[in-house]
Structure 1
Amino acid sequence: MASYLFLCLFLFFPHLYASSSSGSHSCSHHEAASLIQFKNSFSITQTVHAVRYCSHIVGFQSYPKTNSWKEDTDCCSWDGVTCHHLNAHVIALDLSCSRLYGNFPSNTTLFHLPHLQKLDLSYNDFNLSKIPSDFNNVSLKFLDLSHSNLSGPVSRSLGNLLQLTDLDLSRNQLSGQIPRSLGNLLQLTDLDLSRNQLSGQIPLSILNLTQLEYMRIDGNTLEGSIPDEVTAFPNLISLDLSGNLLSGTLPSWLYTAPSLKEIYLSQNQFSGHIKKFQSKSPELICLSSNNLSGVIELSMFSNLPNLNYLDLSHNSLSLTSNSTSSVNHILPNLIAIFFSSCNLSEFPQFLKGLKSLESLDLSCNRIEGKIPQWMQEVGNDSLSYLNVSHNSLTEVEHFPWKNIAVLDLSSNLIRGNLPIPALTINVFLISNNSFNGEVSSLICNASFLRILDLSHNNLSGTIPQCFGSLSDSLEFLNLMKNKFYGTIPPTFAKGCNLSNFNLNGNLLEGPLTPSIFNCKGLEVLDLSNNKINDTFPHWLGSLPQLQVLVLKSNHMHGSLCVNSSKSSPFFSKIQIFDLSSNYFSGPLPVGYINNFKAIINLEKIGSTVSYMGMYDYEGSAFYTYSIGIAMKGQDVELVKIFTMWMIIDLSNNQFEGEIPKVIGKLNLLKGLNLSHNNLNGGIPTSIGNLTSLEWLDLSSNRLSGTIPNRLADLSFLSSLNVSENQLHGQIPQGKQFNTFGNDSYEGNKGLCGFPVSKGCNIIEPPPPNVLKKDGSKSNIAFGWKVVLVGYGCGVVFGMSVGYVVFQTGKPKWLVNLVENQHEKRRRRKSK
Structure 2
Amino acid sequence: MRTQLSFLGFLIPFYLIFFGLDMMLVSAQCQINQHSVLIQLKNTLQFDSSHSTKLVSWNPNTTDCCTWGGVTCSINGQVIGLDLSNETISSGINDSSVLFNLKNLESLNLAENDFHLRKIPSRLGNLASLLYLNLSNSGFSGQIPGELSLLTRLDTLVLSSNKLEGEFPRSIFELQKLSILLLSSNNLSGTVSMEDFQDRLSNLTTLDLSYNNLSIITSDNITLVNHFPNLSILRLASCNLLKFPNPGNQSRLTLLDLSNNKIEGNIPKWICNASYLKILDLSNNRLNGTIPQCLIEFGRNLAVLDLAHNDLIGQIEGTFPSNCGLNILDLRGNSLEGKIPQSLVNCTMLQFLNLANNMMNDTYPCSLGDNTKLRGLVLRSNRFHGSMRCGQNQHDKWSNLQILDIAHNSFSGVVPAEFLLQWRAMMTGTVVYTAIDISDNQFSGVIPLTIGRLKALYFLNVSHNEFTGSIPPSIGDLSQLETLDMSTNKLTGEIPYSLTRLSFLSYLNLSYNQLQGRIPDGIQLSTFGNDSYIGNEGLCGFPLSKACPRSIAPVPI
Instruction: Identify whether the pair has TM-score above 0.5, normalized to the shorter chain.
Output: yes
In structure 2, the residue matched to 1:310 is 133
**In the TM superposition, what whole-angstrom CA distance separates every residue of 1:600-643 from its partner, at most 9, and x where no partner exists?**
22xx96xxxxxxxxxxxxxxxxxxxxxxxxxxxxxxxxxxxxx5
Instruction: Pick closer, same or farther for the CA change 1:429–1:351 going to 2, 3 Å.
Output: same
CA distance in 2, matches of 1:309, 1:371: 25
CA contact (8 A) 2:194 2:217 kept: no
CA contact (8 A) 2:110 2:134 kept: no
- Aligned mate of 1:680, from 450, 459, 468: 468
CA distance in 1, matches of 2:536, 2:293: 52
1:319 to 143, 146, 151: 143
One-letter amino acid of the structure 1 residue matched with residue 348 of structure 2: K
Please tell me whether residue 749 in structure 1 is matched to residue 537 in structure 2.
yes
Identity of aligned residues (%): 38
The aligned counterpart of 1:333 is: 153
1:212 to 65, 80, 98: 65
- Structure-2 separation of matches of 1:245 and 1:652: 49
| Equivalences, count | 491
Query: Does the CA-based 8 Å contact 2:447-2:471 persist in structure 1?
Result: yes
Q: Which has the larger radius of gyration?
A: 1
Please tell me whether the aligned partners of residues 653 and 676 of structure 1 are also in contact (alpha carbons under 8 angstroms). Answer: yes
CA distance in 1, matches of 2:197, 2:247: 17
Following superposition, the deviation at residue 270 of structure 1 comes to 3.7
Following superposition, the deviation at residue 555 of structure 1 comes to: 0.3
Which residue, 408, 412, 427 being the options, matches 2:239? 412
Cα distance, 1:576–1:460 mapped onto 2, change above 3 Å: same
Q: Give the aligned partner of residue 23 of structure 2.
A: none
Q: Is 1:240 equivalent to 2:83 in the alignment?
A: yes
Q: Distance in 1 between matches of 2:417 and 2:318?
A: 30
* Contact 2:350-2:371 at 8 Å conserved across structures: yes
Structure 1 match to 2:10: none
Go from structure 1 to structure 2 and tell me whether the alpha carbon gap of 1:258 and 1:361 turns closer, same or farther (over 3 Å shift): closer
Contact 2:280–2:306, Cα closer than 8 Å, also in 1: yes
Say if 1:704 and 1:240 are closer, same or farther in 2 by CA, change over 3 A: same
1:358–1:383 Cα contact (<8 Å) kept: yes
**1:576 maps to 2:403:** yes
> Are 1:516 and 2:344 counterparts?
yes
- Alignment TM-score, normalising by the size of structure 1: 0.56
Q: Distance in 1 between matches of 2:50 and 2:354?
A: 38
Q: Paired residue for 2:195, among 360, 373, 379? A: 373
| Unaligned runs of at least 5 residues, structure 2 | 1-17, 19-28, 30-48, 72-76, 553-557
Question: CA separation of 1:259/1:590 partners in 2, compared to 1, >3 Å: closer, same or farther?
Answer: same
1:313–1:342 CA contact under 8 A, matched in 2: no
Cα distance between partner residues in 1 of 2:304 and 2:298: 11
Structure 1 contact 312–342 (Cα < 8 Å) conserved = no
Cα distance in structure 2, aligned partners of 1:368 and 1:547 = 41
> Which stretch shows the higher mean deviation, 249-258 or 552-561?
249-258
Q: 3-state SS of the aligned residue for 1:588?
A: coil
Residue 268 of structure 1 pairs with residue 113 of structure 2:
yes
| CA deviation string 1:765-785 (max 9, x = no partner) | xxxxxxxxxxxxxxxxxxxxx
- Answer whether contact 2:51 2:87 (CA < 8 A) is retained: no
| d(CA) in 1 for partners of 2:57, 2:432 | 42
In structure 2, C-alpha distance between the alignment counterparts of 1:666 and 1:420, rounded to whole Å: 49
Q: Which gives a bigger RCO, structure 1 or 2 (Cα 8 Å, sep 6+)?
A: 2
> What residue number does 1:829 align with?
none
For 2:119, the equivalent position in structure 1 comes to 293
Residue 202 of structure 1: CA displacement?
5.6
Alpha-carbon RMSD: 2.8
Matched, 1:588 2:441: no
Do residues 423 (structure 1) and 211 (structure 2) align?
A: no
CA distance in 1, matches of 2:148, 2:524: 64
1:336 to partner: Cα distance: 1.4
- Change over 3 Å in CA distance of 1:202–1:438 after alignment to 2: closer
Aligned residue in 1 for 2:519: 731
What pairs up with 1:55-74 in 2 under 5 angstroms?
none
The alignment's TM-score, normalised by the length of structure 2, stands at 0.82
What code does the residue aligned with 2:101 have? Answer: T
Aligned residue in 2 for 1:544: 372
Look up the SS of the partner of 1:460 in the other structure: strand
Cα drift, residue 760 of structure 1: 1.1
Instruction: Tell me by how many angstroms 1:533 deviates.
Output: 0.4
Structure 1: tracts of 5 or more residues without a match: 1-55, 57-164, 166-195, 219-233, 272-290, 606-642, 765-831
Question: Do 1:351 and 1:378's aligned partners in 2 also have CA atoms closer than 8 Å?
Answer: no
Indicate the SS of the match to 1:238. strand
**1:683-730 Cα deviation digits (max 9, x unpaired):** 011111111111110000000000000110111111110000000001
Deviation at 1:427, TM superposition (A): 0.7
Q: For residue 134 of structure 2, what is the amino acid of its counterpart?
A: D
Partner deviation per Cα, 1:299-326 (whole Å, 9 max, x = no partner): x244333112223445343236xx52x8
Cα distance change, pair 570–332 in 1 and its aligned pair in 2 (3 A): same
Offset of residue 334 of structure 1: 1.3
Contact 1:215-1:238 within 8 A present in 2 as well: no
Whole-Å Cα distance in 2 between the matches of residues 197 and 446 of structure 1?
A: 48
Q: Is the alpha carbon distance of 1:654 and 1:327 closer, same or farther for their aligned partners in structure 2, counting shifts above 3 Å?
A: closer
Kept in 1, the 8 Å contact 2:232–2:254? The answer is yes
Mapped to 1, the partners of 2:51 and 2:458 lie a distance apart of 33
Higher mean displacement: 246-255 or 713-722: 246-255
Q: Helix, strand or coil: the match of 1:467?
A: helix
What is the CA distance between 1:389 and its match in structure 2? 1.1
Deviation of 1:468 (Å):
1.8
User: Does structure 2 retain, via aligned residues, the 8 Å contact 1:210–1:235?
Assistant: no
- The question of 1:353 aligning with 2:174 is answered yes
Distance (whole Å) between structure 1 residues aligned to residue 361 and residue 479 of structure 2: 37
Whether contact under 8 Å (1:213, 1:238) holds in the other structure is no
Aligned residue for 1:375, secondary structure, equals helix
Pair 1:572–1:719, CA change in 2 (3 A): same
**What SS does structure 1 have at the residue aligned with 2:337?**
strand
Deviations 1:42-63 (A, max 9, x none): xxxxxxxxxxxxxx9xxxxxxx
Give, in whole Å, the separation in 2 of the partners of 1:214 and 1:270. 26
Q: Please tell me whether the aligned partners of residues 469 and 493 of structure 1 are also in contact (alpha carbons under 8 angstroms).
A: yes
Indicate which of 92, 107, 114 corresponds to 1:249: 92
Q: Relative to structure 1, is the Cα distance of residues 426 and 748 closer, same or farther in structure 2, using a 3 angstrom cutoff? A: same
The answer to whether the 8 Å contact 2:109/2:135 transfers is no
SS of aligned partner of 2:264: strand
Say whether the 8 Å CA contact 1:546–1:574 is kept in structure 2: yes
Q: Distance in 2 between matches of 1:529 and 1:205?
A: 57
Q: Which amino acid aligns with 1:245?
A: T
SS at match of 2:313: strand
CA change 1:208–1:520 in 2 (3 A) is same
**Residue 371 and residue 205 in structure 1: after superposition, are their counterparts in 2 closer, same or farther (change >3 A)?**
closer
The more displaced of 498-507 and 391-400 is 391-400
CA offset at residue 268 of structure 1?
1.9
Does the CA-based 8 Å contact 1:214-1:238 persist in structure 2?
A: no
Q: How far off is 1:242 after superposition?
A: 1.6
CA change 1:199–1:709 in 2 (3 A) is farther
Correspondence 1:474 to 2:299: no
Question: What is aligned with 1:804?
Answer: none
Where do 1:4-153 residues align within 5 Å? none
Secondary structure in 1 matching 2:549:
coil
Q: d(CA) in 2 for partners of 1:587 and 1:237?
A: 68
